[in-house]
Structure 1
Amino acid sequence: MVRGFALCVYCSASTAEQAHIALAARTGTEIARRGWSLVSGGGHVSMMGAVATAARAGGARTVGVIPKHLVHREEADVHSDELIVTDTMRQRKQIMEDRADAFLTLPGGIGTLEEFFETWTGGYLGQHDKPVVLLDQDGFYTGLLEWVDELSRRGFVSRHARERITVVTDLASAFTTLAAAAGVENRAR
């Protein structure tokens, strides 16, 4: 069986802000429109649930990966085409990384940031060569990026490391960047 292009989306499992929920839903819709599949954290709450629900509604295959200690807290997405329950967060992240062809980080908190930083670092260290895209819509990550740029100016983050991520400010640019970086045709079904 040939597996299609799989996008891992990191995003909030806690926010109730409707603008961010809507962004996640648009992301899922676009994944489906392109004929891609979704790899997510396996929760059915907040943005995480919205991206998976919208992707499935559009016909995309969804793979959820959730550690057993979060099955109830993040309401495991039992409607996923494949739901993988792990023993630990580390196993969750490894499976998500292994199953994905590229990564997109939407707004989120410390869990989202932890996933983003680990994926970014893994790419910089040569553990994978997959595209890593950060969506800084409406300046959500501007403060973080200013801090990273300051670290770069002070010699703590190399130019090569900084260039390992692509920062975009809108969803259309995120998908264009992901498709181009991954060598996937930029088209819809």
Structure 2
Amino acid sequence: MLSVGTSSPAFVAPRLRLDGSPGAVRTAPPASQALNLRAAPLAFAAKDVAAGSGLLLAASFAARSGRRVARRAVDMPVKEPPVTTTVAIPGAKVEEETKQKRADEYRLVLYNDPLNKREFVARCLMTICLLKEGDAYQVMMKAHKEGVAVVGTYSFETAEAYCDGLKSQGLSVDIFPVDKDE
């Protein structure tokens, strides 16, 4: 109910008011607190703000002691979204934006890897791309002999996930959109 301690610069002591009701009355701080108040005035102001005594008390205290107080919430500029305007000039050519449609399927291509062992490459294909052991071995051998091999044809999200997974293991892979004509 009563807060007695070093959280405020003035000491709060329980006393009886003139009307006889119990209450808290501010008195001068004890000598130990007065010494701390002179030694670290900003520390006391920070404790007041942290204790919830209010920024105004800390600001007035800092103003009396000749120090500046940062006012973050008040002095910060408000960020607004940028405003764009379009001006129509008569006789100017209008270029319409065309949105490129993403292909439906993508090929995941594996390149020859001279650094890793062939068993490691096949194991990565089995664990990441979920190929069977025989299929993973065939893809690995084709990439080893010819320099490049198609792992499979997948949707964009799947191909991208497999590509990232194989790249994280140190393999050279890429994805390409499948042409409709092929």
TM-score range (shorter-chain normalised) is: under 0.3
Larger radius of gyration: 2
Structure with bigger helix share is: 1
Structure with bigger RCO (C-alpha 8 Å, 6+ apart): 1
Give the TM-score of the pair, scaled to structure 1.
Answer: 0.21
